[in-house]
Amino acid sequence: MNSAREVLALKYRPKRFEDLIGQDTISLTLSLALDTNRLSHAYLLSGLRGSGKTSTARIMAKALVCDQAPTSKPCEVCAGCIAANNNRHLDIIEMDAASNRGIDDIKDLIEHTKYKPTSAKYKVFIIDEVHMLTTQAFNALLKTLEEPPNFVKFILATTDPLKLPATILSRTQHFRFKRISDQNIIHHLSHILNIENISFETEALEMLTRSGNGSLRDTLTLLDQAIIYSKGTITATTVTDMLGMIDPTFLDNMFDLILQKGDIRELLDSLQSYETGQVLDEIAIYLKQKMLEKHVKFDLYLFDRFYRIIADAKQLLNLNSDNGFVLILTLSKMVEAVSLKTIDEVIEQIQQKEVVTSIVSNIDTQKPIKQITNTQNLQEPPSQPQPQPQPQPQTQTQPIKEDTANILFNKLISNIYNKNYDLGKCFEKSFHFHSHINNILKIDSTATGDCKKSLYKNFSYIKQLIEETYGDTIEIEFNKIQKEPTKEMARVIKATVFNTPLDQSSPQVGSMIEDLELNQSSSCVSSMCDTKNPSLSQVDLKMEDILNSKMVKTAIELFQPPSQPIIKSKN
């Protein structure tokens, strides 16, 4: 045959182990077996179509019939190599099991194994598509395949090794051909086109490779077709038209429209000339490419949603649904998927709404805090009288209006909530606005327990937010406010501790509860406030001290039923 008329798949078929594309492990193993003369009597080659199984079998056969056999590098000049390259060597018998699959064909093959090779050292039998043999043919081949003559070698090739009986698999060395990577195929195509002096675009070769699905023979067939259609210059546009694929530029514009939530009716007219299944496959390939590129227009959530939508659309197509309806539904769902929010975004939005609601309610219900001198006296015992500092002359400045000051303080609370919700909760609970005059922010503090520790630990962070809200020159002063027992607290204590009516004969307990409710001067707290020079124990006396005193514990033991547990105050 004239070489100028040969198709590319035959013209550039590998003739040496080094020429095999993407099967380095197999070529190395067979080369070492030939060089070390550690040959098996039967080999099984399996893999995807166009991955190099038949080419490997022929290279192996040529290596066994060469004058220097066995060798991994045939000389290519002896009569055996020349005859093997032209497929006319008498000692290489190649049989297609798809057309010669019966027991009679296998009997003829077994008959040939009884005769020695005519000119070579070995007689090689290549059975292609061996999985097509009948069960009777496999059974007839078993004995010969297990113990052939020393000069006989079997090379079996198949695309479906699972259809072979286990008895055949156990009698052969199995080599599995893997799928050829796209990068290796593109490199091989560019090498061929450079030899043929044909200009090309790399994007066009990528499209041909994707259409070949890992088969080098199928890709070379498409390349032949592209050379003819493009008239010597292979471009992405000509390949797209030849294969009936969707233009990548159109896909870019389509997803730009989807991400902008545009009208999909503009796309339907352009997609009517394509099969819906093909459109879904093209979209999947496009998204896969963008995912590998880590394109900024898409995130992981969008990829996941789009692929789920494509999978649902393919299921509808399997149910023989209307193709046009499936396409419209798919594009509409993709537009809707863009506006969906993640769980984290929804939770954050709900938390922000709760913060805004609490701030608004605080603005409506917040009352100015009055300073109680007695409470301050409770908190810090008076020491030696200190001279009052002389007032320094200051410029007359108008204090900031109360509404404006409250708005700024609520804005500060909102900023803390946005940065750290728990910290904002403690800040709002423990710190209350007092005044903002002469660039001095006074805050009343009632912080206790864990909130006090958290606020102290994050004070530098809070100070930074205060400076962002009020300015870098703001000065901060804190007034520690001691919480007093309220009527509601006294009622809770009375309801939970004294479940039974108080005995009128217990004047001490009755007077204590009455003093807590009415906050009269007869109570221990009010008397302590009236003392001019209170002792240290009087100053540190708190509500917990009252509840844990011997008198109150005795009252609890007297009036609380024995079946109920003793209630202690929470620290």
Determine the pLDDT at residue 426: 86
**The pLDDT of residue 394:** 43
Question: Which pairing describes strands 233-234 and 431-437: parallel, antiparallel, or unpaired?
Answer: unpaired
Rounded Cα distance, 121 and 69, in Å = 7
Q: pLDDT band at residue 491, thresholds of 50, 70 and 90?
A: low
Greatest C-alpha distance within the chain: 131
Q: Is the pLDDT of residue 202 over 70?
A: yes
Please count the other Cβ atoms lying within 10 Å of the Cβ belonging to residue 455: 19
Q: Report whether pLDDT(252) > 80.
A: yes
CB atoms within 10 A of CB 391: 6
Q: Provide DSSP, 18-36.
A: GG-SS-HHHHHHHHHHHHT
Residue closest to 375 by CA, chosen among 489, 518, 477, 484: 484
For residue 61, the model assigns a pLDDT of 94
Residue-level pLDDT at 451: 82
**Which helix (DSSP H) or strand (DSSP E) does residue 318 occupy?**
helix 300-318
| Token pair recorded at residue 393 | 């002359």
pLDDT at res. 370: 42
Task: Dump pLDDT digits (tens) for 401-413.
Answer: 556 777 888 888 8
pLDDT band at 484 (very low <50, low <70, confident <90, very high): low
Q: Which own/partner contact pairs does 79-83 have at CB distance under 8 Å and 24+ positions apart?
A: 79/119, 80/119, 80/120
Long-range contacts, 30-39 (Cβ 8 Å, 24+): 30/56, 30/60, 30/72, 30/175, 31/72, 32/72, 34/60, 34/63, 34/64, 34/70, 34/71, 34/72, 35/70, 35/71, 35/72, 37/70, 39/70, 39/153
Taking residue 324's Cβ as centre, other Cβ atoms within 10 Å add up to: 12
User: Would you place residue 33 in the very low, low, confident or very high pLDDT band (cuts 50, 70, 90)?
Assistant: very high
DSSP percent split of the chain into helix, strand, coil, nearest 5:
55, 10, 35
Q: Counting beta carbons within 10 angstroms of the beta carbon of residue 15, is it exposed (0 to 12), middle (13 to 18) or buried (19 or more)?
A: middle
> What is the band of 476 on the pLDDT scale with cuts at 50, 70, 90?
confident
- Whether 569 has a pLDDT exceeding 70, the answer reads no
Contacts of 412 (CB under 8 A, 6+ apart): 465, 466, 469, 470
Over the chain, what is the mean pLDDT? 78
- For the domain spanning 248-339, the CATH number is 1.20.272
Nearest to 42 by CA among 134, 113, 101, 119: 113
Of 534 and 23, the structure prediction assigns the larger pLDDT to: 23
Sign of CA dihedral 164, 166, 167, 169: positive
Q: Report pLDDT for 509.
A: 42
Q: What does the pLDDT look like over 87-120, one tens digit per residue?
A: 899 999 999 998 888 999 999 999 999 999 998 9
Can you give the pTM of this predicted structure? 0.56
d(CA 400, CA 398) in angstroms, rounded, equals 6
Q: Provide the token pair at 262.
A: 């545009």
What does the domain layout of the chain look like in residue ranges?
A: 3-177, 182-243, 248-339, 349-378+397-480, 487-559
Q: Strand, coil or helix: what is 395?
A: coil
pLDDT attached to residue 392: 47
pLDDT of residue 562: 56
Instruction: Judge: domain 3-177, CATH 3.30.360.10.
Output: no
**Using DSSP, how many helices (H) and how many strands (E) does the chain show?**
28, 10
Flag whether pLDDT at 59 surpasses 90: yes
- Say if domain 349-378+397-480 classifies as CATH 3.30.300.180: yes
Euclidean distance between CA atoms 283 and 286, whole angstroms: 5
What letter represents residue 235's amino acid? T
Look up the CATH architecture of domain 182-243.
Answer: Orthogonal Bundle (1.10)
Which is nearest to 267 in space by CA: 277, 283, 254?
A: 254
Sequence letter at residue 117: P
Please answer whether residues 83 and 120 qualify as being in contact, where contact means their C-beta atoms are separated by less than 8 angstroms.
no
Task: Write down how long the chain is.
Answer: 571
pLDDT digits (tens, 9 = 90+) for 120-129: 999 999 999 9
Quick one: what percent of the chain has pLDDT higher than 70? Answer: 75
pLDDT for residue 525 is more than 50: no
